[in-house]
Amino acid sequence: MPHSELTHYAVSVVGSDKHGIVAGIAGALYRLGCNIADSSSAMLAGEFAMILIISHRKPFNKSMLLEELKPVCESLDMTLSVRHLPSGEEHRADTEGEICQITVYGADQPGIVYRITSRLALSQINIMSLQTKLAGTDEEPVYIMLMEAMLPDSLTPESLEELLKGLKEELQVEIEVRVVTPVEL
């Protein structure tokens, strides 16, 4: 099927975690005949969030999507957001640069995410995914941050580690950079 015959939407759902959220949303999309092209979901401190990029053959519109999803979200007490993706916006970004996993561990403190991601942004490093988790005990909380990032051609994983060396010392955290080799099918 030619790509131009499809319309695409970004769907996000957020609310208190409970059984059946993914099945409820996936079921509504299935009943509509939608295809889930990309999705991500996570439970964060008792809240559940998911975002999906879906497609459907034209003619199809946002009202049809909302009509099917709203009752499901209301029954699960979830907040729903739907955004139409203009033609071309549904395409994946090229991943021609080196893809790395950046892992940060250290004592919990304000500013870890901001300071590290700001440094990455200044170096034109694109963060593709980011997860954080608080572990340890109340007395000794440990902050864990995992990122997948695409390096520009001007940077190597080794030069990225060097770039983050000062922050590693200032924040007193461990920072590890490792290459993630894409698998070709």
CA 15 to chain centroid, in Å, comes to: 17
Distance of alpha carbon 145 from alpha carbon 119, whole angstroms: 15
Q: Quickly state the pLDDT bin for 87 (edges 50, 70, 90).
A: confident
Residue 24 CB neighbours (<10 A): 19
For the four alpha carbons of 159, 163, 166 and 168, in that order, the dihedral sign comes to negative
Give pLDDT tens digits for 97-153: 789 999 999 999 999 999 999 999 999 999 989 999 999 888 999 999 999 999 998
Taken in order of first residue, the domains within the chain and their CATH numbers are 3-85 (3.30.70.260), 99-179 (3.30.70.260)
